[in-house]
Each structure stands twice: as structure tokens, then as C-alpha cells.
């Protein structure tokens, strides 16, 4: 299989320093709004990069469930590989691959557990089937078959047939507290526009630099 000729030009738009918002969260909100308006597929999907205890990097897609000046929020099984890796390395990165708009947003920062109250509030807002799935799957553990997983789901469905489904004690949320952001806009002839926001140590200000493509 030859992939050498697989390429296209990026012509969606340009990004200038003048057009950037003063803070990365404001810039992210602007781009997220545009992504939602354009109805691109899975705009809230982000690839989370972690380091294992042996230093091996790993990535997976999770869904962004909230953001503010404080950071980016997502939820997961607390026994999952990523949650366990957070215990060894609290540094994390996230990538939003908005390919339909020739854009990427990259965030690097520190991981912070959400409070039990915050996690419970979100869990109880989820569709009932998603709540059952959280109880069903001991994420990242080996299982014998798909049939086993389906049987577990039916078992949980019967167990919680009546009333509200409680929040599992092995499920919760995390916040990525950003230290750096990068906004990437694809450009013609591979001359992309890249801008990086870096947190200034002495306060809440951000330094913005254009990067070579």
C-alpha cells in the first residue's frame, strides 16, 4: 500500500494574531461555537494522551462535557487505564481534530479530579442506558466475549429496574487545568497558521506566540 500521494490542500481559512481572543478559553469557545454551527462530526471528541508508570504514552478518545476558564471536563471509570495513569503522572494533553475545518486545538496541562457532587450531578443527567453502561463495564479490564458484556448489561438493567440508578463509586470526572494551548489552522502549501498560548507564571495572563508550521 502506497500512501505517498495521499494529500490535499487546506483552504478553509486563515488565522491571524489580530483575530485571536485575549484568552485561550475565549478562543476555544469561539471555535467550538463555529464547529457546532458547521455541524462537523463529533466536535466534542478529544484525544487524551497520558503516560503509564513505565513512561509509555497512550491515547484514547473521550468526550468533552464542559469547559470554562478553569479547564476542560470529562468523565470516566476510575478504574480505567487513563484514570490509573493519572495517579503516576498528573500531566496530560488533549487534541481536538476538527479536520473538516482544517483545524486542531491542542491543550497541555495538569489533571484534577472533580468533586463527588459535580460527578454525581452529571451522572444523574445522563440517559438511563448510559448510566447502566457505567455499571456494566469495568473499563480496560479483559473480558471473555461480547456476549459476556451484553449479559452484564441485561443484569444491570434488571437490578436497577425501578427507581433512580445510583452513582457508581468507581465512576467520576476529571478536569484538565491548561498550562498551554495551541490553535492550528491549516494553510495552503503546508504553510499553516499556529498560535500558542502559554500561561504567565505571575498571574492569569497568557503570552501568545506564532509558531512556524
What are the domain boundaries of the chain? 24-124+169-211, 131-166
- The pLDDT score that the predictor gives to residue 8 is 85
List, for residues 22-33, the tens digit of each pLDDT value.
Answer: 999 999 999 999
List, for residues 110-127, the tens digit of each pLDDT value.
Answer: 999 999 999 999 999 999
Known catalytic residue: 190? Answer: yes
- The pLDDT score that the predictor gives to residue 192 is 95
Mean model confidence pLDDT for the chain: 94
For the beta carbon of residue 94, count every other beta carbon within 10 angstroms.
21
> Domain 24-124+169-211 is classified in which CATH homologous superfamily?
Electron Transport, Fmn-binding Protein; Chain A (2.30.110.10)
Can you spell out the DSSP letters for 87-129?
HH--EEEEEEEEGGGTEEEEEEEEEEEPPHHHHHHHHTTS-HH
Q: Give the mean pLDDT of 58-80.
A: 96
What distance in Å separates the CA atoms of residue 73 and residue 67, rounded to the nearest whole number? 6
- The pLDDT score that the predictor gives to residue 25 is 97
- The pLDDT score that the predictor gives to residue 111 is 97
Cell 468507581 sits on residue: 170
- The pLDDT score that the predictor gives to residue 115 is 95
17 pLDDT higher than 90 = yes
Catalytic residue among 190, 194, 196, 210: 190
**Which residue in 181, 75, 59, 164 sits closest to 119, CA to CA?**
75
- Of the pLDDT bands very low, low, confident and very high (cuts 50, 70, 90), residue 202 is confident
Q: Give the mean pLDDT of 17-24.
A: 96
List, for residues 137-182, the tens digit of each pLDDT value.
Answer: 888 888 899 999 999 999 999 999 988 999 999 999 999 999 999 9
Amino acid at each position: 500500500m502506497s500512501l505517498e500521494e495521499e494529500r490535499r490542500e487546506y483552504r478553509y481559512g486563515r488565522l491571524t494574531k489580530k483575530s485571536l481572543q485575549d484568552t485561550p478559553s475565549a478562543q476555544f469557545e469561539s471555535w467550538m461555537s463555529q464547529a457546532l454551527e458547521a455541524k462537523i462530526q463529533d466536535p466534542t471528541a478529544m484525544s487524551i494522551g497520558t503516560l503509564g508508570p513505565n513512561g509509555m504514552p497512550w491515547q484514547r478518545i473521550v468526550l468533552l462535557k464542559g469547559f470554562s476558564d478553569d479547564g476542560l471536563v470529562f468523565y470516566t471509570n476510575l478504574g480505567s487505564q487513563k484514570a490509573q495513569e493519572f495517579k503516576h503522572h498528573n500531566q496530560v494533553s488533549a487534541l481536538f481534530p476538527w479536520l473538516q475545518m482544517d483545524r486542531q486545538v491542542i491543550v497541555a496541562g495538569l489533571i484534577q479530579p472533580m468533586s463527588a457532587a459535580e460527578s454525581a450531578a452529571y451522572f444523574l443527567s445522563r440517559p438511563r442506558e448510559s448510566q447502566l453502561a457505567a455499571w456494566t463495564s469495568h473499563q480496560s479490564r479483559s473480558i471473555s466475549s461480547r456476549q459476556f458484556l451484553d449479559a452484564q448489561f441485561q443484569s444491570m438493567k434488571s437490578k436497577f429496574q425501578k427507581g433512580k440508578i445510583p452513582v457508581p463509586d468507581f465512576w467520576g470526572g476529571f478536569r484538565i487545568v491548561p498550562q498551554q494551548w495551541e490553535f492550528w489552522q491549516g494553510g495552503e502549501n503546508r504553510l499553516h497558521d499556529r498560535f500558542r498560548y502559554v500561561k504567565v507564571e505571575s498571574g492569569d495572563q497568557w503570552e501568545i506566540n506564532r509558531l512556524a508550521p
